[in-house]
Structure 1
Amino acid sequence: MRIALLEDEHEQAQHVQSVLSERGHHCDSFPSGQSFLSAVLHRSYDLLILDWQIPDMTGIDVLQTVREQINWGIPVVFLTQRDSEADIVRALDAGADDYLAKPAREAELVARINALARRSNPDNEKEVLRYGPFEINTQQRTISLHSEELTLTDKDFDLTLFLFQNQGRLLTREMLLERVWGLARDINTRTVDTHMSRLRRRLGLNPENGFRIKTIYQRGYRLEAMKAEEPDHVEGTIETDRAVNG
């Protein structure tokens, strides 16, 4: 699992990274709210860990930005020295999924993270996933539309699965290159755009089938559920999202 950690104390950050790495997770650490938010916007993470007291803003501010501007249901855990009931309630009310006071016991931290990951991704345990008229068999690596199996490459399958599992979420080109292709996020390539254009046709992503891939200008793509009567204007779509650091 890929985890983003907001922690301005270097030794504490290294300790958490070491604990998570030993349990098979990948953890990137960031010392400020702005650097953390920029990374979360442009990279793909499965879970976030937030400290409360950081130099440029509070952990609550970061959480609110994640929920309001980035707007996706990624699990968020607070790991902080603040342990009053009022602080815990405030964090949970603001959208946190769990709360641990420092120093956290290593086994408990890992267990809570794993539990959140299971609850937030229940489809990971399923062999067959259904999204409207689409059926994805994760074991056989096949995709069917209205019970008719589609002809797709392995990479098309990986990209389609990732899109449906992240339905409604803005996926930057960097995220897709990293999670689907396994490439460094700074590689300049139109591979993603080419595959997206092809998937629109091969998957029949249109109002009749209930989904579309929406292009977010200069940002990336988002798979959206749609009603049959909605117009399907996807190529060259321009949408202005608020930037997290502006």
Structure 2
Amino acid sequence: MRIAILEDDLTQSEMLKWVLESVNHKCYTFATFKTFQTALYRDSFDLVLLDWVLPDNSGPKVMQWIRETMHIKVPVLFITSKTDEENIVEALNAGADDYMIKPIRRGELVARVNALLRRAYPELTAPEVFDIAGLEFHPKFSTIVRHTNRVVMTQKEFDLALLLFRNLGKPLSRSHIQEAVWGRDTDLPSRTMDTHISRVRSKLSLKPEDGFRLTPVYGFGYKLEQVDADGKSKDFNAIRKQLEQGA
């Protein structure tokens, strides 16, 4: 999973990154709120680790901004040296999902991060066959059952479809999609991703008249969303506007 780490202490930041990447997560570090805010123009994350004190903002205020701006509820874990109950309550009231006190213990960090990810993305630990948005996913056979019809897909197409449905309604950056489906170090031609997106859209009939819309987000990536009979859904452009206003 892709994890954003907001921590201005370089030593602490690198330690957190090393621990989490040792258990196969992908981490991206930010020393200021501004750099994290800017990154959201082009990237997306599955979880955020947040320090209480940043050079250009406070953790609780950043937490509030995350909850107000990112309409998809990304789990957030506070990491801080503050131990007072009132600080813990403030962090949780601001929208944090969990709270850890420095010095961080490796095993506890991994356990808490994985627990948050399981809670936010329950299909990660789902059985061999599971349902998302009315579709049956069969990982063992890389197939999806739609309206009792078995849709046979290549492994990459299945992985891409699963990623999109796990993040239904959430804009995913191109780099997020590439890392999840093709791997971090793959030199992937742009057309390869676009071709796979087109195939998934066609095979699963991801069209507004069928209740779904899979669209490119200009300069960012793609988003799969459920829409009503009138094709109404939340607009990512409104989120980008909020980002610009807050920058």
Q: Same fold (TM over 0.5)?
A: yes
CA distance in 1, matches of 2:196, 2:214: 12
* Residue 189 (structure 1) aligned with residue 157 (structure 2): no
SS at match of 2:110: helix
CA pair 101-147 structure 1, distance change in 2 beyond 3 A? same
CA pair 217-43 structure 1, distance change in 2 beyond 3 A? closer
* Residue 92 (structure 1) aligned with residue 78 (structure 2): no
CA pair 177-53 structure 1, distance change in 2 beyond 3 A? same
- Give the aligned residue type for 2:243: V
Look up the match of 2:37.
37
What is the CA deviation profile of residues 153-212 of structure 1, one whole-angstrom value per residue up to 9, with x for unaligned ones? 222111111100110101122221222222559967233333323322221113453222
Look up the match of 1:124.
124
Look up the match of 2:64.
64
CA pair 186-88 structure 1, distance change in 2 beyond 3 A? farther
CA pair 144-232 structure 1, distance change in 2 beyond 3 A? farther
Task: Tell me how far 1:148 sits from its aligned partner.
Answer: 0.7
* Residue 107 (structure 1) aligned with residue 107 (structure 2): yes
CA distance in 2, matches of 1:238, 1:18: 33
CA pair 63-185 structure 1, distance change in 2 beyond 3 A? farther
Look up the match of 2:144.
143
CA distance in 1, matches of 2:106, 2:224: 37
* Residue 19 (structure 1) aligned with residue 19 (structure 2): yes
Task: Tell me how far 1:10 sits from its aligned partner.
Answer: 1.5
Look up the match of 2:241.
242
User: Is the deviation greater in 200-209 or in 142-151?
Assistant: 200-209
Q: Is the 8 A contact 1:33 1:59 kept in 2?
A: no
* Residue 167 (structure 1) aligned with residue 177 (structure 2): no
User: Is the deviation greater in 124-133 or in 142-151?
Assistant: 124-133
User: Is the deviation greater in 167-176 or in 210-219?
Assistant: 210-219
SS at match of 1:218: coil
Q: Is the 8 A contact 2:5 2:49 kept in 1?
A: yes
CA pair 60-184 structure 1, distance change in 2 beyond 3 A? farther
Look up the match of 2:215.
214
SS at match of 1:201: helix
Look up the match of 1:48.
48
What is the CA deviation profile of residues 43-67 of structure 1, one whole-angstrom value per residue up to 9, with x for unaligned ones? 3433211101111112223222322
Look up the match of 1:7.
7
CA distance in 1, matches of 2:125, 2:160: 19
User: Is the deviation greater in 159-168 or in 146-155?
Assistant: 146-155
What is the CA deviation profile of residues 113-139 of structure 1, one whole-angstrom value per residue up to 9, with x for unaligned ones? 222122222111222222344221112
Task: Figure out how many residues of one structure are paired with residues of the other and give that number.
Answer: 242
User: Is the deviation greater in 81-90 or in 35-44?
Assistant: 35-44
| Overall identity of the aligned pairs, in % | 41
CA distance in 2, matches of 1:111, 1:65: 26
CA distance in 2, matches of 1:36, 1:180: 24
CA pair 24-177 structure 1, distance change in 2 beyond 3 A? closer
Task: Tell me how far 1:238 sits from its aligned partner.
Answer: 8.9
Look up the match of 2:199.
198
CA distance in 2, matches of 1:63, 1:35: 15
Task: Tell me how far 1:146 sits from its aligned partner.
Answer: 0.6
Q: Is the 8 A contact 2:79 2:101 kept in 1?
A: yes
CA distance in 1, matches of 2:208, 2:194: 21
User: Is the deviation greater in 8-17 or in 48-57?
Assistant: 8-17
Q: Is the 8 A contact 1:65 1:244 kept in 2?
A: no
